[in-house]
Structure 1
Amino acid sequence: MSSLTLIYIILSGIIALLLAGFQYYTKKKSMSKLNMLFLFLRFLTIFSVFLLLINPKLEQITLSTVKPNLVIAVDNSSSIKYLKQGEEAIRLVEKLKTNKDLNDKFNIETYTFGDKLKTSNEIQFNEKQTNIADAFGQLSQIYKQTISPTILITDGNQTFGNSYEFVNNDYKQPIYPIILGDSIQYTDLKIQQLNVNKYAYLKNQFPVETILVYNGDDSVNSKLVVKSGNTVVYSENVNFTKQNNSRVIDFKLPANAVGVHEYKASLEPLANEKNTINNFKNFAVEVIDQKTKIALVSDIVHPDLGVLKKTIESNEQRSVSILNSKEILNQINDFQLVILYQPNNKFNILIERLDSENKNRFTIIGTKTDLNFLNKINNTYSSEITNQTENYQAELNKSYAPFLIEDINFESFPPLNSPYGSTKFSVPFETILNKTINGILKKDPLLATFETSGRREAVMFGENIWQWRAQSYLNDKSFNAFDDFIGKLIQYLASNKQKNRLNVEYESFYNGNTNVIVKAEFFDKNYEFDTRETLTITVKNTATEETKTFPFILNSTNYQVDLSSLPASDYSFTVSVSNENISKSGSFKILEYNVEQQFLNADVTKLQQLATNSEGKHFFVNNTEGLIKNLLNDNRFATIQKSNKNRLSLIDWKYLLIIIALSLSIEWFLRKYNGLI
C-alpha cells in the first residue's frame, strides 16, 4: 500500500468522524451512550463507503513448498523376464515407492515403457519392443520445468529408436540407471539382422542379406542354412575369429510360385553356446505374378513429379515411368493407370485414347493447367476460369466411402496452389479432401474420386504436393503415413473392383515383433460410414484348429482389432457384421520371432555412458544400497520454498459491504425503536 493511499485513508477517517459528529455530537457535558453508539455506527458507515471509493490494494503473501519429483521408469519388455530379472525389478520398485525418507523428500511417479511410455503401475514384462529414447522424449515434455531425477530400471537393450545414451541433450535431468542382468560376456553366435524385400515377382529371384555376428575369443566354424519347410534352399560355411567377428552374406532365392512363402535362416550353434534363440530368424516373401505399371505424364518440370514417383514406388509392387504427352502414345497399353499432371492442349490425343480405351486416370490440376482445354475435352467436370490462383489447405472428409483412409493430420499440411474458382461435376463424386481457406471450409473438393462408364478417376485441384510429404516427415519422422495415403489412392485407381459395404485391411503376413492390427470399415446402404454397427472377427489357427472371436473397436474413421496376442502360426479369419448378412474372409501368417530374446546380458556400457552424460550414477540391481542414500544427500534435489504475492482490491472484499449494511441496519433499528424516526 502506497503512502498516498494511507494519507487518503487517514483523511477519510477524519472526515467520516466529523460528519458523524456533526449529526450526533451534543454540547452537553456528557453524551448519552445511545448517541455515542449512533455516532460510532454512522462513522463506521461513512468510513467504509470512503474506503470503497479509495479502493486500497492489499498485498497478501503466501508461502508454499515444492518437492522435487522422483521419476521411476521401469522397462516392461519381455527381455527382463527372459534374463530372469523380473522379481528383482518388482522388489526394487516397491522398496523405492514405500521408503519413508524418499516420500518425504520427493513426489514419486512411476512409469513403465516398452515401445511407448505408459503411466500404468502394472509391471508384467510382456511388451515385445523396447524404445528407451522415446520414453525419455515423452518424459522431457512432462518434466520440462521441474527438478526430476530419474531412476531407469532396465537391461539397456533397446530394439528400435535413437541411441539413448546421449538423451540428456533433450532430457535435462540426472538419470540413475539400475542395471538388470548379467555383465558377463558369453560366447555367442547370432543372426544380427536379416534384410529381405516384402514382395517378389514370379519367375524372378529376390535378394536376401544376412548380417552374422560372433562374440568370443576363439576361432569357430559354423554353417548358415536357409530352409523352406524341410527343404534346404541355401547353405554356406562360415568361420569367425576374435578380430573378424562379423560377416555379411548376400544371396538370392528363386520365386517360383505365387503366394506367401516362409523361410527359416539358422546358424548352427556352438557346443558351449548359452543362447541359441538368436541363431535363427524366420522371414517371408509374398510372390506376386505382376507389377502395377503407372505412367506419370507431364510436359512441365516440377518437384511434384519426383515425389509422386518416389511415393508410389515405396510399394515395390508398383513402378512409375515419367513420360511426356507424346512418348506415352506408343506404350499406353503397358500401363494400368495414367496420371495426368497439369494437362494442356498437347494432351489432346492422349485423353482421346484414354477415353476410347476407358482407362482409369488421375488428373492433377495446378497453376500451369490449361483449364479451357480441360473443360472442352472433359465431360465429367468443369472448372470456373478466373485467371486467379489461391492457396487451399486440406480437411479430411471422414465420410468418404470407397476405401479406408487414415487422418494423417492433413490440416497441418502446407496449402496447395490451385486456380481460383469453383468446380461443377456432371457425375456423382465423392470427396476425399475438402478445400479450406484460413480454417473456413469451402464447398469445393480439393481431392475427389468418381466412377463413370466402368472406369475410375481422381482429380486433385492443387500443386506442390511435394511439400505435403516433407511436412508428413516432420510430423511423424517418417514418410510412411503419406506414402500409405497415396498408395491407397493408387491401389483404388489401378483396380476395377466394385465398391463394397464392408472393407477389411490386413497384411498377408506379420513379423513376430510387430503388432498384428486388422482394420475394417462398414458403410450403410448410402455408403456413409456407419458407427452404430458391431463388427467381430473369428480367427482360426489352421495348425491347431483353435478358433477365437474378437470384437472390433471403433476408432474415429474405422474399426480396429489387435491380434498381437496370437502365437506364431497360419490363420484364416472371417469378419462379420452383427445386424447384417455381410462378411468377408481372408488369411494371414504370423512369423515366429521375439526380438527381446536375442540378448544374453545387459548393455552395461550404454547405461554407464547414460549415467555419466546426465550427471547421474549407475547401480546394479543387486547392489542398490547406495542409491537411496545418494538421492537423499544430493543437494541438487532440495525442496523449494515459493512465495506468491497477491494484490487484493478492497472492493472485492465482500465483508466490507456486509459491515456497511449491518451498521446502517442497526442504526435505523435503534432510531426506530427509540422513536427518533
Structure 2
Amino acid sequence: MNITSINISLDSNLFIIIVGILVFAGYTYFIYKYTIPVISKTLKYFLIVLRSLTFAVLFLLLFDPVLVLTSEETSPPINYFFIDNSASMVQQDSIKNSSILKEVVNKIESNLTDETKIFPFGGSVKELENNSADLLTFSEKFTNFDKITDFIERSKENIGNVIFLSDGIITTGSNPVKRIETRTIPYSVIGFGDSTKHNDISVGSILTNNFIYSGKETTVSAVILNNGFSGKTVQVDLFENNMMLSRQNIELNPSGVNRINFNYTPATPGEKKITVNVSPLPQEFLNNNNGKTVYRNILNSKIKIVLASDSPSSDFSFIKNVIDQDENYEVIPIVSVSKNLALDSNNPAQIDSADIFILIGFPTSITSPELLNKISNAILQRQKAFFILLTKKTDLNKLSPLAGILPFVASQNPANYERAQIEIVDKFNPLIQINGKYNDEEWSNLPPVVALISKFDARKESEIVAKIKLKNISTDIPLLLTRSVGKSRSVALLGYEIWRWKLQNKNSAIFDQFIRNIILWLNVDPEADRFKLSSTKRNYALGEEIEFRGEIYDEKLLPIIDAELSVELSNGESREEVYLSIDDNGFYTGRTSAKLLGDISYKAKAELNGNVVAEKTGKLTVENINPELINLTMDKNLLKEIAFTSGGQYYDVSQINNLVEKINKNNSTKNIIKTFRDEYTLRSEELLLIIVILLLSIEWFFRKRSGML
C-alpha cells in the first residue's frame, strides 16, 4: 500500500491561521527580547522557537485540524470456483463421475495463472481447504444456487471470474438468473451430467382457483408428465389431508403431458393439504416424483356485504356496481322506501351473516326501529366492520347506538352541508392508494362532493385521511376518517355524491379502487394483521433448512422490535421449538433443519414483557426423501442461461482448456486500484498533547537552568 498524498484540513481560512501564528510568534519575540538575567542569543532564539511552536500547535487545535492520508493498493483478480457438491452430480456412476470431476477441478485450478479459491456448495457454500479436490464428497442433499449469489454479494475481493461447475438441478431456493442480471461478473459455466431423458412419470403441477370456498364445488387440475410410457394406463388419486377423495384412470398421452381435472368440494374452511399421486409403473427411473402436494386456504364463504341506503341513490347504485364486479363479494341490498318497509330487509339471517356493513345515508327518520336494531346489534355484538356515508337525510340521533364506535363525535349543532373538494392529508393511507401508490394529481382534480361543514371532531383513536377545501381554501373539517380499535374497524365519509368521481374520468380507476380499498381494509382482522409469520415454503425434505420470518405490530401498526417470538413444531409424536431473533431489516427470523417427519403443525407466539400478545398457527410437510435423487437429468438450458445472462460462456467438460485460456487472457486486464482515505482528528490525538507538554517542559528546563523566572 503506497501513500499518495498527505493533507491537513482546517475548519477555518488558512490566511487567518497564518496571521494568528505570526501574531503569536511576534508576541513571543517581544517577551524574550529582554530577559532577566541576560541570556545568549542562541538560547534566546531557541526559546522563542519552542514557545512559538507550542502556541502554533495549540492555535491549530482550535480549528479542528484533520489529517487526511490517501493511499492506493493494486488488487489482482481472484477466480471464484464454485463446485456443485450434491449427490445428483455422481449418482448414476458415483466412482467414475467423482473421479472425473476431481480431475477437472485439479486441471482448472493448476492451469489458472491468478489466485483461485474453490468453494463446494449444496445447501450452503464453504471454502475448500487447501483447494484439495480429494476433499469433495458429492454427498450434499440439496442444491441452492441462491447461496452462491449471496456469497458473491458479500465478498469484498476483486473477483475476476466466477467458474461454475454443476448439473443445473436446483432442489431448494430459486432460479438465480434474475439476481445474476444485476451483477457485472461473468460466469464461466461448466455443465456436467446426463441430459438424456429417462423413462419416468411425474406430477408436474397442481392448479386450483385462487379463492376456494367451503361447501362449493371447484376444480383441482393436475399436470401429469411422462416419458417413455405412451399408451400406458395409470391411476391418479386426489387426497385432502391424507384422505383419498377421488380416483381416475388415465391413458398416458404420446405428447408426454396429461391434464386431469378433479371436482373438489371442501367440507370445512381452513388450511387444507391437497395431494395428487400417480401409481408407479415397472421400469420407471424414479418413483419419488410420482406425487405432489400443495396447501390451500379454504375460505368460509364469499364476503357478505350489507348495503343499506336511505333511498336508491346514485351513490348506492355506483357502489353496488363496484361490489358486484368482484365474484368474491355477495351484496345484500337494503333500501328504505317507507317507515315500515325496506326492500330485502325481511330476512334477519342475511343481516346476521353479513361480514361488512355499508351505510349510505342510513339511518333516516323513516328507518324502522326493527331494522336499525338488527344492523346495530350485528355491528356491536359481533364486532363487524362498517363504512358510513353521511347525507342530508341521515338521522344523527338514530346513530346513538353506534356513537361509541363511530370515527367521529357528532356535533350538537345543526348539520349543514355544502359543496367542497377533498384534500388528502394522509398520503400513505391504504384507502387512497391507486394501483399501489398515491396519485396527487388525480385526487386533487376530483369533482366536489356535498360535504358536512359543521365541525364534527375526530375521536382521539381515529385517523383523519382527508379534510375539505371550501372555495380552494383548506380547512380543519374532516371528510374521511378511519378507526381501528381491537377487532372493531370503521370508515366514515362525512359527505355524499362521491359517484361524480366515477364520471369525471371514465378511464380513471380512482372511484372503483377507493371502494375496493375500503372493503379490503374493513375485511382485515386487525389482530391477525398485527402478527405475520411465514415459512420459506410448505414442503421440505428431511434435513432441509426451514426458515421462519415474522413481523409483529402494535395497535397503531408500528413495528415492535423488542418482542420474543417462538415457533413450536409438532408431528403428533415429537416437538421442537425455534426461537426467532430480529435482523437488520426489522424482521424476526429463525432457522432449523427439518428433523420431524410427516405433517407438521406449528404454533407461533409473540410475547412482550412476559405476556403473550399474539399467536398464529400453520402447517407444513417433511418427507423422508433425497431431493437430489428425484431428478437426475442435467438442466443444460438453465446453465446456458446463467452463462449468457452474466456475460460469460458455457462449456462442456471436454472444453476446459478453452475455459482456462480465456480466463487467463481476460484476467490480465482486471487489476484494480483501490484507493483508501484515512482521516485522523488531531484534536483527539494523544500524541499532540504529549508534544505540547514536551515543548513546554523543554522550555521550562532551559529557563530554570538559566535562572529565569
Q: Shared topology, TM-score over 0.5?
A: yes
Work out whether residues 179 and 618 of structure 1, in 8 Å CA contact, stay in contact via their aligned partners in 2: yes
SS, match of residue 192 in structure 1: strand
Partners of 1:571 and 1:378 lie apart in 2 by: 45
CA 1:376–1:630: 2 relative to 1, 3 Å = farther
How far did residue 611 of structure 1 move? Answer: 0.8
2:331 is matched with 321
How do 1:211-290 residues align onto structure 2 when only pairs under 5 Å count? Answer: 211-216=223-228, 219-226=230-237, 233-241=246-254, 244-253=255-264, 265-282=276-293
Partners of 2:84 and 2:282 lie apart in 1 by: 32
Work out whether residues 167 and 635 of structure 2, in 8 Å CA contact, stay in contact via their aligned partners in 1: yes
Partners of 2:513 and 2:668 lie apart in 1 by: 42
Q: Does 1:339 pair with 2:356?
A: yes
2:698 is matched with 666
Which ranges in structure 2 are unaligned for 5 or more consecutive residues? 1-6, 129-137, 337-342, 412-419, 431-435, 444-450, 467-479, 502-508, 555-559
SS, match of residue 575 in structure 2: strand
1:191 to 195, 203, 214: 203
CA 1:651–1:264: 2 relative to 1, 3 Å = closer
SS, match of residue 186 in structure 1: coil
Q: Does 1:355 pair with 2:361?
A: no
Work out whether residues 192 and 213 of structure 1, in 8 Å CA contact, stay in contact via their aligned partners in 2: yes
Deviation string, structure 1 residues 181-228 (Cα, Å, up to 9, x no partner): 432322333221122459866765431212122335x85433343266
Q: Does 1:489 pair with 2:489?
A: no
CA 1:415–1:286: 2 relative to 1, 3 Å = closer
CA 1:14–1:323: 2 relative to 1, 3 Å = closer
SS, match of residue 331 in structure 2: strand
Q: Does 1:377 pair with 2:361?
A: no
Partners of 1:304 and 1:104 lie apart in 2 by: 69
SS, match of residue 184 in structure 2: coil
2:73 is matched with 64
Deviation string, structure 1 residues 272-331 (Cα, Å, up to 9, x no partner): 3312222333568888996663446686389998998899x7xxxx64337575665356
2:169 is matched with 157
Work out whether residues 518 and 562 of structure 1, in 8 Å CA contact, stay in contact via their aligned partners in 2: no
2:52 is matched with 46
Work out whether residues 217 and 266 of structure 2, in 8 Å CA contact, stay in contact via their aligned partners in 1: yes
CA 1:647–1:434: 2 relative to 1, 3 Å = same
> Residue type matched to 1:353 in 2?
L
CA 1:373–1:257: 2 relative to 1, 3 Å = closer
Partners of 1:58 and 1:165 lie apart in 2 by: 46
Work out whether residues 75 and 672 of structure 2, in 8 Å CA contact, stay in contact via their aligned partners in 1: yes
How far did residue 574 of structure 1 move? Answer: 12
SS, match of residue 182 in structure 1: coil
Partners of 2:670 and 2:589 lie apart in 1 by: 50
Q: Does 1:170 pair with 2:189?
A: no
CA 1:607–1:256: 2 relative to 1, 3 Å = same
How far did residue 666 of structure 1 move? Answer: 3.3
Choose 604-613 or 154-163, whichever is displaced more: 154-163
Partners of 1:643 and 1:518 lie apart in 2 by: 39
Deviation string, structure 1 residues 40-94 (Cα, Å, up to 9, x no partner): 33245436756887999987542223455656667798977988989969x9799
SS, match of residue 196 in structure 2: coil
How far did residue 533 of structure 1 move? Answer: 9.1
CA 1:291–1:615: 2 relative to 1, 3 Å = closer
Identity of counterpart residues, as a percentage?
16
How do 1:92-111 residues align onto structure 2 when only pairs under 5 Å count? Answer: 105=115
Work out whether residues 114 and 664 of structure 2, in 8 Å CA contact, stay in contact via their aligned partners in 1: no
> Residue type matched to 1:249 in 2?
I
Q: Does 1:208 pair with 2:220?
A: yes
SS, match of residue 320 in structure 1: strand
CA 1:395–1:35: 2 relative to 1, 3 Å = farther
SS, match of residue 72 in structure 2: strand
Partners of 1:266 and 1:490 lie apart in 2 by: 39
Which ranges in structure 1 are unaligned for 5 or more consecutive residues? 27-31, 397-411, 426-430, 438-443, 451-455, 472-478, 494-502, 524-528
Deviation string, structure 1 residues 13-35 (Cα, Å, up to 9, x no partner): 99969985996799xxxxx9953
SS, match of residue 250 in structure 2: strand
> Residue type matched to 1:320 in 2?
E
1:428 is matched with none
> Residue type matched to 2:484 in 1?
A
SS, match of residue 525 in structure 2: helix
CA 1:224–1:378: 2 relative to 1, 3 Å = same
Partners of 1:193 and 1:661 lie apart in 2 by: 80
CA 1:104–1:674: 2 relative to 1, 3 Å = farther
SS, match of residue 601 in structure 1: coil
2:505 is matched with none
SS, match of residue 278 in structure 1: coil
> Residue type matched to 2:73 in 1?
S
Q: Does 1:35 pair with 2:67?
A: no
Deviation string, structure 1 residues 131-172 (Cα, Å, up to 9, x no partner): x5x668767865799756444455423479886446543223
CA 1:194–1:147: 2 relative to 1, 3 Å = same
CA 1:662–1:597: 2 relative to 1, 3 Å = closer
Deviation string, structure 1 residues 109-150 (Cα, Å, up to 9, x no partner): 969686xxx7788998456x95x5x66876786579975644
Partners of 1:158 and 1:655 lie apart in 2 by: 58
> Residue type matched to 1:548 in 2?
R
1:407 is matched with none
SS, match of residue 232 in structure 2: strand
SS, match of residue 185 in structure 1: coil
> Residue type matched to 2:330 in 1?
V
Partners of 1:71 and 1:296 lie apart in 2 by: 64
Partners of 2:251 and 2:152 lie apart in 1 by: 46
Work out whether residues 537 and 576 of structure 1, in 8 Å CA contact, stay in contact via their aligned partners in 2: no
Q: Does 1:300 pair with 2:315?
A: yes
Work out whether residues 51 and 699 of structure 2, in 8 Å CA contact, stay in contact via their aligned partners in 1: no
How far did residue 265 of structure 1 move? Answer: 3.7
Work out whether residues 24 and 55 of structure 2, in 8 Å CA contact, stay in contact via their aligned partners in 1: no
CA 1:278–1:301: 2 relative to 1, 3 Å = farther
How far did residue 610 of structure 1 move? Answer: 1.6
Work out whether residues 105 and 639 of structure 1, in 8 Å CA contact, stay in contact via their aligned partners in 2: no
> Residue type matched to 2:425 in 1?
N
CA 1:58–1:25: 2 relative to 1, 3 Å = farther
Work out whether residues 73 and 110 of structure 1, in 8 Å CA contact, stay in contact via their aligned partners in 2: yes
1:601 to 616, 633, 655: 633
1:364 is matched with 387
SS, match of residue 36 in structure 1: helix
How far did residue 385 of structure 1 move? Answer: 6.6
Cα RMSD of the aligned pairs, angstroms, is 6.9
Work out whether residues 150 and 176 of structure 1, in 8 Å CA contact, stay in contact via their aligned partners in 2: yes
CA 1:664–1:157: 2 relative to 1, 3 Å = closer
CA 1:150–1:204: 2 relative to 1, 3 Å = same
Q: TM-score, normalised by structure 1?
A: 0.60
Work out whether residues 540 and 571 of structure 1, in 8 Å CA contact, stay in contact via their aligned partners in 2: yes
> Residue type matched to 1:38 in 2?
K
SS, match of residue 44 in structure 2: helix
